[in-house]
Structure 1
Amino acid sequence: TDIEQKRAMADFVIDNSGDLSALEAAVERFLKELKDKI
């Protein structure tokens, strides 16, 4: 499907299917990984 193609091309995917604390944790992991690359 279209979303699967987008996921395959993305450098990062933040899953927003859980609760708020899971989303916050995913964003924190993303930000840490991003900072480590700079």
Structure 2
Amino acid sequence: MENRMMFIAALVALAIVALQSTLFTVKEYERAVLFQFGEF
């Protein structure tokens, strides 16, 4: 039972990290696109 709880907790932590890195990547990409549009 405890092992399952640890597994679920690790899975949740991994999902949160993945979500944060994805949001960060999207923000960076958005800023790059806006910067390129600003050039023209």
User: Amino acid of the residue matched to residue 27 of structure 1?
Assistant: A
* Mapping of residues 1-16 of structure 1, within 5 Å: none
**Which digits, 9 at most, give the CA deviation of each residue in 1:1-29, with x for residues without a partner?**
xxxxxxxxxxxxxxxxx700000000000
Instruction: Point out 4+ residue stretches in structure 1 off by more than 2 angstroms.
Output: none
Higher helix share: 2
Structure 2, unpaired ranges of 5+: 22-40
Aligned-residue Cα RMSD (Å) equals: 1.4
Task: Please give the alpha-carbon distance, in whole angstroms, between the structure 2 residues aligned to 1:19 and 1:32.
Answer: 20
Of the two structures, which has the highest relative contact order with CA contacts closer than 8 Å and spacing of 6 or more? 1
TM-score calculated relative to the size of structure 2: 0.50
Higher CA-based Rg: 2
- How many aligned positions are there? 21
